[in-house]
Amino acid sequence: MATGDQLYDQMAGGDLGMVGEEFEEYCRKNGLCNLCGTTKTHKREFKLMKKNQWKSLTVESKSDGGFVVYKGYCVQPGCFTLDQARRLLGEIGPGGQDADSIAETISLASTSTIKKMGVKSRLLKKKKKGGSSSSKKKGNDFDGLTGFSSKSRGGKSRSSTRSTVSASGSVSSRISRDDDDRSVGSAMTSNSKVRLSLQHLLKEHSGTLLDLSSTKLHHVHISELVNSLGIASTLNTLILENCKLNDNEIEVLGNGLARDDAVAPIERFSLRANRLGNRGTVSLAAWFKKSKHLTELDLSKNQIGSRGATSTLHAFRDNPNCKIKMLNFAHNEIWDPDDGSFFASNSSLQLLNLEGNFIHDEGVEAIAKGMIRNVDNTNLKHLFLGWNGIGDEGAIQLARMFASNSSLETLGLGENDITSVGARAMLACLASNATLREITGLYHNQIDRKFIIAAIKRLLQSHVEIITDETKEDQRMQAAVEASMSAMDTLAEPIGEKMPAPDEVSESSLDWAEKLYNEGGGTGDGVPPILEITTGTDPKAKQEEVEPLGKSAPPVEEKVKPAATPTPKVDIASEMQGMSFKQMAPPRTKFDRIMVFQAAPLAYFNRNSSLHHAVPLHEFGHEVNILRHVAKDAGKVDAEIEVEAQPATLDNFRMFLEKGTAGVLHFSCHGHPDQLAFENGAGYIDGLQPDALKKIMATSKVPIKLVVVNSFHSGRIGKAFLDAGVPHVVCCHHSEVFRDKASGGFIKNLYRGLAMNKSLKQAFHMAQEAIRVEEITKHIERYVLLPRKPEDEFYHDIPIFYTRTVPELGIADPEYEDDSYRLPPLPRHFMGREVDMYEILEALRADDVVRLGGNRGSGKTAVATAVCRYINFRKKTFKYDNVFWMPPSEHVKPEEDTLFGDLCGLFRKILESDHNVWEDGDVIECRERINIELEGTRSLFAIDTRLFETDAAAQNLEDFLGDLLNSGNALKIILITPSDDLPPEEDTIYLKNLDFKATALLFGEVSRFITPNGCPAAQSSDEFGALMVPPSVAKLQDQTKFSSSRRTELMGHMGGGNPRAIIKAAKQMPASTFIQLIGMANTPEIHVDSAKTLQAAIKRWSGEKEKAVKAKNHLRALDLEKVLNELDAMRSQFRTLDDLIVQEAELQKKLEAAMSSRQYKEGNAIKREILAMKRLIMQEKRAVPDENEQAATDRLADLQVQMQKIMQLANNSFSSLDHLSVDDRVAASFNMGSKYHNCELTISPQSALEYDPGDDMGAIICWTNECCDVTLSEGNKVLMEAGGPNLQRDISSLPGITRTPWGLGKCGTGNAVIVGPGNYDDLLFHCIILAVGPTSRDVDYKPEDEDALHYIKIMLRSCIRSCLILAKHSQVHSIAFPTLTTKMDGATYDTTLLMFFKILVEEARHSDLNRLHITAASENEASKLIAMGVDMGLELA
């Protein structure tokens, strides 16, 4: 039997069949002799901060005392002789030397070799004294070369004197910063405001208020103020708002306030809008802890973090005489304000404002639990938590709190991430709370308005005893004022308004969405009841409608308690939808399985661009967790459902079909438009055509009952499975983002219904109802049940689970253990890194060590985590036994006496080390155990080297990893290197900024303004990405080769492509800046690559600008003027064709002169210049065809359009009579809307002025320009005449938003403003909505101009949404909508007409309209619209 060494020898050289460069590469990578391929001549020397090196070995022979290996040369027979090795090393000359000379030479050479090899670790290098300070990083003491902390043992800084000098330097710079045009010495002149205020205070000895707001205060000012505190015995209010105070001045002030001789009895203290951070806040804590008078404290709009907030609250907690009543921490940087101890003990605080921080669910949980513990003593009446990223978990904790609380009266929750789940929890607990009067900001969360918010407001109003007539009048007046607002105006935060006083709250002034969506004015008028049941139920049943606290039960599963009168058993889900479902038989079996296949190819190679392109990654782990969670609901029917998840490789798919382990297949992927995108298990696409799928499905031993497809291309994939013989297919659209809340919510509720033995039809509609109620998305049409059947058919009304016996084991290895708990969790937002992940996987194939670098915030940890989790899910494919993350996360608790436990213990020792740990016997023993346990396995280590800050820790880590790599064990290492401390070339993979599209998607996913009911221009991340990235940019194969000022400006506002900066910008961007961002996105994208395309672009946009000015679209003209300025600046970059020809002729003359003078070298250089010039000339000739060619092309296009019209007329002429009965109609009515709200749609060619809204509040849409000048259109002139002087006055009094060189702009393109309600003479309606559309009847575009059509679609959708938002705000329930298209009979007329109709129908379907009337411009247009409605599946009335 061969030994291990013999087996190793057999792998070398000819035994492997390797020759030439392949054999040399094998020897180089394994440190073997490149002659015999068996003897190890070099040892790997591992380095953290630079690439690994190989150290030459010297091995003596035990038999004859000679050498086996001499300094990296194998001296065994057949390889080198000892003399050859020495000569190659330069130790002896060709003629030989005596022994003494040789020994001396060897000694010198040995020293030289060691220096060259860099044996001394780069991590151990010390900084040179007096070196440049440029390598010193702000905020830490990092070594400029290594990136590791330059701290000695014990963690102390090496040079305390240097930090002292730096500190003193900062003081001097701070003093000079605060000076305007006065010196520090003159700052306290008798004329200064500070001197006068202090003089008055000291002179009168009776001053109670000192207000120095908006005054620059210097160090000397604060010192004099502190001195005055010793005698200001009557001062009770000190206001220092916007005084530009930093932590240094605050420390002086805090020390003065805490002095025993400070007699000022300050009750109200404000430091609002300064530069106060944690250090300054902590310095005030000593005064807070001892103050007997302070009742109101305002620290808002500063830079206070969690440490500062905690120190403040704990100081009040420890103050036995605490009297604090009002505390304002709004708009700081607080994550965790308290551990709950303050709220568990305080009895004085009445108002707390934490708006605009980063509290999230964890912080809310601490507050709520503290108040629950202090339920009998707390007096907190007003709590404001808006703009804090609070989700459902936080809302549930708050609900539990005020279920037992009897003091809270106002709760502010505006601009958070609460869905209907959390709102239902609050609704359930409000039944036991009688003191809470108001919850503000609910409308701008993701909560169902029609049912849940209305129910909450109705319940809260029952707590208010009296609503006075004066209150009702104020609410009515406020609604009338807001009626003239534009939709985008509601995005604007107050500008130029005086900030509220310290005892005021800002929730109402900042919650811009509350104005937009306030339906009933707070009086209860028009608010629907909590639940309307028309089958004779008991009124007491309303309380039973409230879902118990938690997330588990979907809204459609609520049961209604029957009244005393016997009534038939009613399923509420069925009743709400107007549907009937079959009652399913009890389960036949008690066990079933869901087979989950997840295809996650990361990239594909594009031959045209020679680049790898990304395939968007989904958060598959979160999806599996959802399925496993809802599968537990099977216990409600005394059954069990197993969820088995596997990578979607073709081998796994075939194995599943052969074994028949489940009747339900869940297929999850991003997909591909042309094929089914399986994966090869290693990060690449493995495509499958639909015909091949049919053949594979035919081999299935057990028929698949249901396939659920969760994919961006779900429709195509679902159709392929349906054609392959699957009887039932559910298509769930997944957007391009990492975690799609809408698809996750749909899947959760679908499987929850199926697990509870509901029929497929009922579970599907329950899932649609759930996401509609929670308002995660309006696009419920993206969730389709195939094959499509009428609602009254029972084809899909069948059970899915518990109908047949399934095997006990699936296709997974029964010995497989899920060890993903070892790895950190993935972030919630992760996108744009798929190609980077693929490159890391490819690098791991070639290299043992892969270094991952990048700028701060580039997401190195997230990418490394994603790679580790990707491999861990595919261990079988990648052939890994273990995947380790070191040092482990804090939440990981390893088991003792295991390999993972030993690794965690060893890395903990290394991380905390300040000396050489390899001198410790226990550590050495642990390392030996690890080496033994790793034998025969293949492992992947991901190590965050940034945590090893000391030199000792870094050196110990180097030694350990070097030992592992040289032990012969099969392992790979991913090293996360420190940011900005290594040049990119030192890293194997260097993370660059995200591309433009990924940046836009990430920004859209995080932004608080992009919600299903937010900004009209973009209400989802997909829509925002489409707005930012027009088709011309999306089509580019390599976006790095293209840039524009538009994209550069947009990228700058969205964080520049750095993920951390993107998230920060999205969360902190104010509304006014966001509106500007939307405006910049509407600027045309230009792409110029030649002089002719430049001239063509200038000609086109000059014409567009002239049209905009003529049509009085002045804001659009401003945008186009910027484009023209950019194009004009490009003239110097592109030479004309004539200039290029002249330059080519000059180069030809130079070439002839060079050749005649025999200057051949110079002649060759000129030839290369001529060749490059010819390429430019050919490019210019191809750029734009000449006028004759263009004219011929235009004539051909016109002929094609005419032929299409002739064919269309012919087809209509010979169509069937049934077809004529639809197409010949010029007026029709459709039943539109959803299953939950009906809307009547009428189409006719009559004038909009003749439309009668009936008993509803009615409105008409008037298409106008950005100046709201309705006199330019004949139809609008008729409207103005019919409306009389009242309408003319109201329209002319609309306020302007921007003044341009051509006039005052009142409403931007894609937006709308409303006038009314009012009495307008002969008009039958009371409101007129002026809408600024992106096109008009007198313009046309070429069908291939995708960017123009894209702009029309985006702005048209925004315009229609703005109109519907304003209609809802003004209680309008009936609208007349004239069509808006390009030029009639133009090339894009049909396209834009269909675009208008589809957008309007889709948006109106989810509105509160009762009637929508579309007025066509002609009978032919009306017929087309009716045909479109029939094709879209609308039901004719």
Most confident range, picked from 24-38, 300-314, 1186-1200: 300-314
Distance (Å, whole) CA 722 – CA 729:
7
pLDDT per residue over 9-26, tens digit each? 333 344 445 656 567 767
Contacting residues for 801 by C-beta, under 8 A, at least 6 apart? 587, 592, 634, 639, 641, 664, 754, 755, 757
φ, ψ for residue 1142 (rounded to 5)?
-60, -45
Most confident range, picked from 564-568, 1389-1393, 1401-1405: 1389-1393
Alpha carbon dihedral 1061, 1064, 1067, 1069, in 10-degree steps, equals -70
Band of pLDDT at residue 1149, cut at 50, 70 and 90: confident
Does the N-terminal peptide bond of residue 616 adopt cis geometry, omega within 30 degrees of 0? no
SS3 542: helix
Lowest mean pLDDT among 156-160, 350-354, 452-456: 156-160
Rg, the chain, Cα only: 37
Cα 1247 vs. chain centroid, distance in angstroms?
Answer: 46
Residue 295: its pLDDT value, please? 92
Residue 627: its pLDDT value, please? 93
> Do 616 and 736 contact (CB within 8 A), yes or no?
yes
> Do 1430 and 1436 contact (CB within 8 A), yes or no?
yes
Helices 760-774 and 420-430: crossing angle in degrees, nearest 10, is 80
Average pLDDT on 647-666 reads 92
Average pLDDT on 1062-1070 reads 92
> From its phi and psi, is residue 47 left (phi > 0), alpha (psi between -120 and 50) or beta?
beta
> Do 472 and 522 contact (CB within 8 A), yes or no?
no
> Do 255 and 227 contact (CB within 8 A), yes or no?
no
Token readout for 755 is 């697990």
Average pLDDT on 810-830 reads 83
Band of pLDDT at residue 423, cut at 50, 70 and 90: confident
Residue 173: its pLDDT value, please? 29
Residue 425: C-alpha distances to residues 337, 546, 550, 573, 1296 (Å): 24, 8, 6, 20, 44
pLDDT per residue over 889-936, tens digit each? 877 888 888 899 999 999 999 998 888 998 888 899 999 999 899 988
pLDDT per residue over 289-314, tens digit each? 988 889 999 999 999 988 999 999 99
Distance (Å, whole) CA 82 – CA 1166:
56
Contacting residues for 813 by C-beta, under 8 A, at least 6 apart? 876
The answer, yes or no, to whether residue 1065 has pLDDT greater than 70, is yes
pLDDT per residue over 1344-1378, tens digit each? 888 899 999 999 999 999 999 999 888 898 999 99
| End-to-end C-alpha distance for the chain, whole angstroms | 87
SS3 920: coil
The answer, yes or no, to whether residue 1066 has pLDDT greater than 70, is yes
Distance (Å, whole) CA 1265 – CA 1433:
34
Average pLDDT on 588-615 reads 84
DSSP 663: S
Token readout for 9 is 């020898």
Which position has the higher pLDDT, 355 or 527? 355
Residue 492: its pLDDT value, please? 35
Token readout for 1198 is 């016109």
Distance (Å, whole) CA 1330 – CA 1327:
10
Q: What percent of the chain has pLDDT over 70?
A: 76
0.85 surpassed by pTM: no
Contacting residues for 778 by C-beta, under 8 A, at least 6 apart? 1012, 1019, 1402, 1403, 1406
In single-letter form, the type of residue at position 914 comes to D
User: How confident is the prediction for the chain on average, in pLDDT?
Assistant: 76
Contacting residues for 885 by C-beta, under 8 A, at least 6 apart? 822, 823, 824, 865, 868, 942
Q: Which residue has the tokens 């880590």?
A: 957
Distance (Å, whole) CA 587 – CA 755:
10
Q: What is the 3-state secondary structure (H, E, C) of 1014-1062?
A: CCCCCCCHHHHHHHHCCHHHHCCCCHHHCCCHHHHHHHHHCCCCCHHHH
Lowest mean pLDDT among 42-56, 755-769, 1020-1034, 1073-1087: 42-56
Residue 48: its pLDDT value, please? 62
Contacting residues for 1321 by C-beta, under 8 A, at least 6 apart? 1282, 1283, 1284, 1286, 1287
In the beta sheet, which residues pair with residue 1330?
1262, 1313
Band of pLDDT at residue 194, cut at 50, 70 and 90: low
> Do 1431 and 1401 contact (CB within 8 A), yes or no?
no
Distance (Å, whole) CA 329 – CA 331:
7
Distance (Å, whole) CA 74 – CA 791:
82
Token readout for 1433 is 């599946």
Token readout for 926 is 């642990």
Band of pLDDT at residue 980, cut at 50, 70 and 90: low
Distance (Å, whole) CA 904 – CA 894:
7
pLDDT per residue over 1037-1059, tens digit each? 666 666 788 888 999 999 999 99
The answer, yes or no, to whether residue 225 has pLDDT greater than 90, is no
Residue 1214: its pLDDT value, please? 34
Q: What is the bridge-based pairing of β-strands 970-976 and 938-944?
A: parallel
Residue 496: its pLDDT value, please? 31
Alpha carbon dihedral 517, 520, 526, 531, in 10-degree steps, equals 70
> Do 328 and 239 contact (CB within 8 A), yes or no?
no
DSSP 736: S
pLDDT per residue over 1220-1267, tens digit each? 344 568 889 998 766 556 788 999 988 878 878 888 888 999 999 999
Residue 1437: its pLDDT value, please? 77
SS3 788: coil
pLDDT per residue over 89-141, tens digit each? 777 765 555 444 544 444 444 433 333 333 333 332 333 333 333 333 333 33
Token readout for 1274 is 């004949």
